[in-house]
Amino acid sequence: MPLIPRTDLSVSDLCLGGNVFGWTADEPTSYAILDRYLDATPGTVSPFVDTAEMYGNGVSEQILGRWMADRGVRDRIVVATKASPGEKQHPLAAAEIRTAAERSLRNLQTDVIDLYYAHYDDETTPLEETLTAFDELVQAGKVRHVAASNYSAARLTEALGTAERIGVTGYVALQTHYNLMERPAFEAELRDVVTGAGMGALPYFALAKGFLSGKYAPGEQIDSPRAKGAAAYVGERGDRVLAALRDVAAEQGVPMTAVALRWLADQPGVVAPIASGRSVEQLADLLPMQDLVLTDDQRRRLTDASA
């Protein structure tokens, strides 16, 4: 049961991505996915769900909000959402952040957002203004903790220093692109910033747009909106990674996706990988990662294959 550093938020080992709600999963399917995820999470653990105001222009948040209200489970769920750019000229200006937060609170049918991200960096707005606006939401009790998403190491360092200098709430986590096929961007610089500041990383595209499921191969036609992105990983290195995943999955008796997610969850600085399923069946392949324990040798083989 990982803890998001510098917070009181204990969360599930798998963060469920809500980007599919209202997109590749209609509302009844989204409800079924959320029900299954909730059922698979021990009662002592808080299921962790990630969404954003820009997912379906608020539809993802609305579906999650209706589900939590219908099931009466808001107090059990750790909810993360994001102030997104959309068509905004200055997306992290104070007025935009306040408006976005109020919209998300309405969509989610809640009084407080547990983890609120700056979805993308906004270099057109001074960091002092952005961080002060986030801090005001925390002080008002509308947001528990704030975090960054898609920040460079330099800008994250600057944001952390700015928050300390002006005495406001700082970012406690970073959502970033990281998986077995995408390692250098995080491991070269961002990881040192995250761990050095006592933050936690929450990697998205944890399954390399589905490539690490093993269903993508040269010439295969896959019915998925992410197929083109996943196909970019096909090649010699991708073959090595998939072979290592297949071997470890066979040894453990679990799906390849569960192994890929567990490797990621075990990396320094990582709190929980974010992954989504557009059906209950896809989600079922992810869930075993929560109880999976890789051996040092298995972890090393995956790391070496993806080097």
Residue 300 lies in a domain: no
> Is 247 part of a structural domain of the chain?
no
Residue 174 in any domain: the answer is yes
Domain assignment of residue 82, yes or no: yes
Range of the domain at 31: 15-215+255-292
pLDDT at 43: 85
pLDDT attached to residue 222: 58
Looking at residue 44, what is its pLDDT? Answer: 87
Say whether 204 is catalytic: no
Total count of domains within the chain: 1
Residue 5 lies in a domain: no
Angle (CA) 55-214-257 rounded to 5° is 60
CA distances from 9 to 3, 150, 200 (A): 6, 21, 12
Percent of the residues in the chain that have a pLDDT greater than 90, as a whole number = 93
Number of CB atoms found within 10 A of residue 100's CB: 25
Question: What pLDDT does 13 receive?
Answer: 97
The reply to whether 6 falls in a domain is: no
Mean per-residue pLDDT of the chain: 96
The answer to whether residue 113 is domain-embedded is yes
The secondary structure of residue 49, as a DSSP letter, is E
pLDDT at residue 219 tops 80 = no
- Is the pLDDT confidence value at 220 over 80? no
Tell me the mean pLDDT in the region 271-279. 98
Q: Residue 285 — very low, low, confident or very high, per pLDDT cuts 50/70/90?
A: very high
SS3 156: helix
CATH number for the domain that contains residue 106: 3.20.20.100
CA-CA distance, 1 to 98, in Å (whole number)?
A: 32
What pLDDT score does 227 carry? 65
116 beta partners = 81, 146
Q: Which residues contact 164 (CB under 8 A, 6 or more apart)?
A: 170
Closest to 112 (Cα-Cα) out of 76, 71, 144: 144
pLDDT at 1 (0 to 100): 82
Q: DSSP 3-state assignment of 240?
A: helix
Mean pLDDT of 254-274: 98
- Whole-model pTM: value is 0.96
pLDDT at 226: 64
Residue 231, pLDDT score = 84
Q: Domain for residue 26, yes or no? A: yes
Q: Which of these is catalytic: 31, 37, 55, 171?
A: 55
CA distance 51 to 117: 10
What strands lie across the sheet with 113-118, from one edge to the other? 200-204, 173-177, 143-149, 113-118, 78-83, 48-50, 15-17, 274-275
Q: How many helices (H) and strands (E) does the chain have?
A: 12, 8
Alpha-carbon dihedral angle through residues 38, 210, 19, 260, given to the nearest 10 degrees: 50
- Condensed to tens digits (0 to 9), the pLDDT of residues 139-184 reads 999 999 999 999 999 999 999 999 999 999 999 999 999 999 999 9
- Summarised one tens digit per residue, pLDDT across range 222-252 is 566 666 778 899 999 999 999 999 999 999 9
At residue 179, the pLDDT reads 98
Query: 213 and 285 in contact (C-beta within 8 Å)?
Result: yes
